[in-house]
Amino acid sequence: MFDYKLLAALAAVIEQGGFERAAQVLGLSQSAISQRIKLLEARVGQPVLVRATPPSPTEVGRQLLNHVQQVRLLERDLQAQVPALDEGGMPERLRIALNADSLATWWAGAVSQFCAEQQVLLDLVVEDQEVGLKRMRAGEVAACLCGSERPVAGARSLPLGAMRYRALASPRFMARYFPQGFAPERLARTPAIVFGPDDFLQHRYLASLGIEDGFLHHLCPSSEGFLRMAEAGVGWGLVPERQAAAQMQRGELVEICADTPIDVPLYWHHWRNGGQLLAQLTEHLRQMAPGWLVPL
């Protein structure tokens, strides 16, 4: 039998990014948290944490995290069926990984009603849509929104739709770099804006125009900052159509090559045995997504 106080300590250290904040959340001393982790490691016979900043789970630690997160959700279902078991604790907190562009555009509007009705708190982990699934595989999140269709073992994936991106730049930027009109062969030598090292959307766009080599680019790991840099003429970039709608309408941003959008599919991944709360959120997203995303 697992000692769930030990598993709760492990989950808190990972979720809070350290022993000190984990101790604050659980109402314990930092020494007590450390002792619980050591006892857990003694019982499983190997380390469950990599002592780094922030700490990260080992392989067995990931498996234990997967287990404790699913147990939390199932306990919530049982408390609803057997009110005597409900200790009147804090609302359930769902830890979810999603991409920054979804958070900056449609996510809040899609889930606000659900959070209010179900009294759910969200702990959002922002990752690029190409790598968000790693968080779920590592046992760090209960669900994730990402660009990968194939689920991890023990999970399901649901296609929600696609985010439409357009390659945009300011009129001043276009006048500076393309005074004679847009020319694809000049694009590799024209500064782009890339969200981060895991963002390959600009690479895909360039490949669609026949450009396979490297290109000049700024790195800007912020959706809001990305849009502001494009508006200021620092570079061109692929921006969610929904995020830049007002700027496009006012002529502050223009498409560098007319009518060449890129649609990025989004898939919702959740544990099969995640309980009613995750199932309800999944159904809610299934119903809400068509109002916010482009059909696949």
**Residues 148 and 130 sit within 8 Å (Cβ to Cβ):** yes
Pairing of the two strands 49-50 and 93-98: unpaired
Q: Which of 64-78, 102-116, 239-253 has the lowest mean pLDDT?
A: 64-78
Q: In the 8-state DSSP scheme, what is residue 221?
A: -
pLDDT tens digits along 52-108: 888 988 988 888 887 887 777 777 666 666 554 455 555 677 889 999 999 999 999
Structural domains in the chain plus CATH codes: 163-262 (3.40.190.10)
**Residues 46 and 60 sit within 8 Å (Cβ to Cβ):** yes
Is 237 a residue whose pLDDT tops 70? yes
3-class DSSP state for residue 295? coil
Rounded to whole angstroms, the Cα distance separating 244 from 210 reads 26
- Quick one: which H or E segment has residue 109? helix 107-118
Pairing of the two strands 155-169 and 237-240: antiparallel
pLDDT tens digits along 140-179: 788 999 988 999 888 999 999 999 999 999 999 999 999 9
Q: How many CB atoms lie within 10 A of CB 220?
A: 21
Q: What is the DSSP annotation of 40-73? A: HHHHHTS-SEE-SSS-EE-HHHHHHHHHHHHHHH
CA torsion 14-20-22-26 (nearest 10°) is: 170
- Quick one: which H or E segment has residue 133? helix 133-137
Rounded to whole angstroms, the Cα distance separating 227 from 229 reads 5
Question: What is the SS3 assignment for 143-192?
Answer: EEEECCCCCCCCEEEEEEEEEEEEEEECHHHHHHHCCCCCCHHHHHHCCE
Is 213 a residue whose pLDDT tops 90? no
Rounded to whole angstroms, the Cα distance separating 263 from 172 reads 26
Query: pTM of the full predicted structure?
Result: 0.79
Percent of the chain with pLDDT over 70: 93
Q: How many CB atoms lie within 10 A of CB 80?
A: 13
3-class DSSP state for residue 234? coil
Among candidate residues 81, 113, 76, the one with its CA nearest the CA of residue 94: 76
